[in-house]
Structure 1
Amino acid sequence: MTTEHAGGHAGPANATEYIQHHLSHLQTADGSFNLDTFWISAVLGLVFLGVFSMAAKRATPGVPGKLQNFVEWIMELVNDTVNSAFHAKSAVIAPLAITIFVWVWLMNAMDFLPVDLLPRLLEFFGVYKLRVVPTADVNHTFGMSFGVLLCIIGFSIKAKGVGGWGKELFTAPFHAHGVAAIVLAPVNFVFQMIELIAKPISLSLRLFGNMYAGELIFILIALLPWWAQWLLGGPWAIFHILIVTLQAFVFMALTVVYLSLAVEKH
């Protein structure tokens, strides 16, 4: 949703400055670290842990409460995805998938807050820049996808061993024998590296692109008169619920698929 333009200390004077202001991160003094992305994502992670921990403690075998029903519905949704895509045995994959889905959804859902709400509140504490959607920061989405990359490598090594994984890097996708195997080994390695690197890049840019676009549209709507903000902001927010949920699900589902491929022998 949207609200009126931001004001306060050194407020934006025109539409261009307003957009630039809302696309500027709260950073460290040297500009090397986005503090808003870090703290908002960390707080939302704690919210996820707190809510699910509360649901686990209050869980009853009889008639479940609303919170238990909601959490169980999410777990069933994720479990169905994991069972259909991941055929090996792993005690990690289901909790990992649930964490990814809920955490990414919460970060995406920050886009539903009025554009100026949190920035204006923080102005009282001397903070004049803030971006509230962590997944609209390409640094954060790349960080998450790098974590997925490490999981892919870890799952591969656990399933095949260091030797088996290393051998696969030089023998797949073109399985050859004798001299042909030696000749094709560098080609196989290059293709394997391209495939390995393309996975986290595609994960990162897909999520970042969709959330950045959604954030920018909300900012543009906030530039309109108040009646137009509600006229256009409401329908866009409703449609954005689908985007927010779909992007969280896609990030989770692709992670599960990539990890499934990692444990398969080629």
Structure 2
Amino acid sequence: MSESSGGGLTGYIQHHLTHNQAVHGAPADPSNFNWDSWAVALALGLLFVLWFGRAARKATAGVPSKGQAFVELIVEFVDGQVRDTFHGDRRTVTPLAITIFMWIVFMNTMDLIPLDLPGMLVTLVSGEEAAHHSYFRMVPTADLNTTLGISASVFLILIGHAWSAKGGMGFGKELLTAPFHAHGFGAIVLAPVNLVMNIIEWLVKPISLAMRLFGNMYGGELVFMLIAGLMAGWVTFLPGVIANAAWGIFHILIILLQAFIFMILTVVYIAGAREGH
């Protein structure tokens, strides 16, 4: 980790855009690992599992509690979206969709936590100097590594669904014969073109998922930084609170919408992977 080199607004933004990293490998070719994104994502994932697991264990057939009713509302909403999009066996697809939706909502929601809260906690424990040299980004989905990791997992799941539905030979044949179907010598000539087109199509899916989520959350986080940096001080304190509150309310829509888009596109891609061209 290194101290932000700039001052003022630039230094403030650079400080808050710096990850808490562990550096591995040789000095000439270091490999950085963002501990903050990993730790927050893991903690929120475990929180989701504990919450829904506890709700499932305590579920009753009678009049549900408010907590059970809320969880059931989420499950029914997601299952309804899967049912409308995916017309096969939903027993594995719906749990995947719920996990993706809730985990991303949890990670996106960290954008609503005050930017300077980690620094304030470090200041209380270790003093102002330690806080100045400490970095911690609270929004895992504003880290491209996180969104690419989730998208890579989705990509492997898509391959698994395609392989399960079509078999190894069927999947391989589709890669070589679609989208430009031909017969005889034409099929041989077009096979490399079909393969390249299919590889591009398959790779675009996880990349687009990752970039869309990352771009929206990174941009939202940057707006919070700009508001906090530009309106720091007693004179602009009240306008800053109003601006942050207004952007936060609007950002709630982005938080939910981006999680929904990631979830529904995953289900759409699964449905497409199981179908033939």
Q: TM-score, normalised by structure 2?
A: 0.89
Kept after mapping to 1: 8 A contact 2:4/2:14: no
Q: What is the aligned partner in structure 2 of residue 115 from structure 1?
A: 115
Quote how far apart the aligned CAs of 1:12 are: 7.3
**Counterparts of 1:122 and 1:198, CA distance in 2:** 41
Which contiguous aligned blocks of 4+ residues in structure 1 show a shift greater than 3 angstroms? 9-13
Structure 1 position 56 matched with structure 2 position 56: yes
Partners of 1:63 and 1:109 in 2: how far apart?
30
Which residue of 12, 27, 33 maps to 1:18? 12
Residue 164 (structure 1) aligned to one of 167, 170, 182: 170
Deviations 1:71-113 (A, max 9, x none): 1111111101111111122421111000000000000000000
Structure 2 residue 266 is matched with structure 1 residue 255: yes
- Higher RCO (C-alpha 8 Å, min separation 6): 1
> 2:272 is aligned with what amino acid?
L
Between the aligned partners of 2:88 and 2:96, the Cα distance in structure 1 is 15
Number of matched pairs? 258
> Match for 1:200: what amino acid?
P
Task: Please list every run of 5 or more consecutive structure 1 residues that lacks an aligned counterpart in the other structure.
Answer: 1-8
- Preserved contact between residue 141 and residue 217 of structure 2 (Cα < 8 Å): yes
Structure 1 residue aligned with 2:96: 96
Post-superposition offset of 1:58? 1.9
Over 3 Å counting, the alpha-carbon distance change for 1:113 and 1:177 in structure 2 is same
Structure 2 equivalent of residue 27 of structure 1: 21
Give RMSD over aligned pairs. Answer: 1.6
TM-score (norm 1): 0.93
Give the structure 2 partner of residue 42 of structure 1.
42
Q: Using the TM superposition, name which of 248-257 and 225-234 deviates more.
A: 225-234
The equivalent residue for 1:196 is: 202
Please tell me whether residue 77 in structure 1 is matched to residue 77 in structure 2: yes
* Unmatched runs of 5 consecutive residues or more in structure 2: 25-30
**129, 133, 154: which one pairs with 1:148?**
154
Provide the rounded CA distance (Å) in 2 between the counterparts of 1:22 and 1:48: 26
Aligned to 1:6: none
Greater shift after overlay, 213-222 or 27-36? 27-36
Tell me which amino acid in the other structure corresponds to 2:262: F
Deviations 1:177-232 (A, max 9, x none): 11111111111111101100000010000000000000000111112131121111
Identity of aligned residues (%): 51
1:239 paired to 2:245: no
